[in-house]
């Protein structure tokens, strides 16, 4: 888990996306635990972001996987909170991001193809 002390939500999420991109383009020999996850104390949210191919094979689609949960894990984050996070991660392209309902009762999950970010709408 990376520290968010002193940084705004947008800056923290920008760094999270940079780490996901770096690890996708230049995979590390050993994966650092928590490298793709941050706690946003001000929003009471935990955000996980990875980038890989879906399905997991060379011809799979280059995409981000986003999971958003409340720190308390008591119920799923509100739609407005999730959209706030998605906008910080993906800018205006977040408008076209659709939720995957496979997350369970306390998380929101999204798969965001890189092509959708390059050609929004």
10-residue mean pLDDT series, the chain (121 residues): 65 96 92 89 96 90 95 94 96 89 85 84 57
**What pLDDT score was predicted for residue 5?**
54
The pLDDT score that the predictor gives to residue 46 is 97
For residue 105, being part of any structural domain is answered with yes
Tell me the CA distances in angstroms from 32 to 4, 20, 62, 74, 75, one per residue in order: 17, 12, 21, 27, 28
CB-based contact 90:97 (threshold 8 Å): yes
Q: How confident is the model at residue 3, as a pLDDT?
A: 45
Domain tally, the chain: 1
For 27, the domain range is 9-118
The predicted pLDDT at position 6 comes to 55
- Asked if 105 and 74 count as a contact pair (C-beta separation under 8 A), the reply is no
CA–CA distance, 91 with 103 (Å, rounded to integer)? 23
In a domain, 3, yes or no: no
Preceding omega of 55 cis (within 30 degrees of 0): yes
Assess if residue 100 is contained within a domain: yes
Cα distance between residue 79 and residue 76, in whole Å: 9
Asked, for residue 1, whether it belongs to a domain, the answer is no
């Amino acid at each position: 888990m990376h520290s968010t002390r002193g940084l705004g939500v947008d800056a923290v999420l920008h760094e999270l996306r940079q780490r996901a991109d770096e690890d996708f383009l230049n995979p590390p020999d050993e994966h650092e635990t928590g490298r793709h996850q941050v706690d946003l104390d001000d929003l009471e949210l935990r955000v996980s972001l990875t980038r890989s191919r879906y399905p997991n094979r060379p011809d799979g689609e280059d995409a981000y996987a986003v999971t958003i949960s409340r720190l308390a894990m008591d119920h799923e984050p509100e739609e407005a909170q999730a959209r706030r996070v998605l906008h910080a991660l993906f800018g205006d392209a977040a408008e076209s991001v659709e939720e995957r309902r496979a997350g369970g009762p306390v998380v929101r999950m999204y798969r965001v193809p890189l092509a959708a970010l390059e050609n929004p709408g």
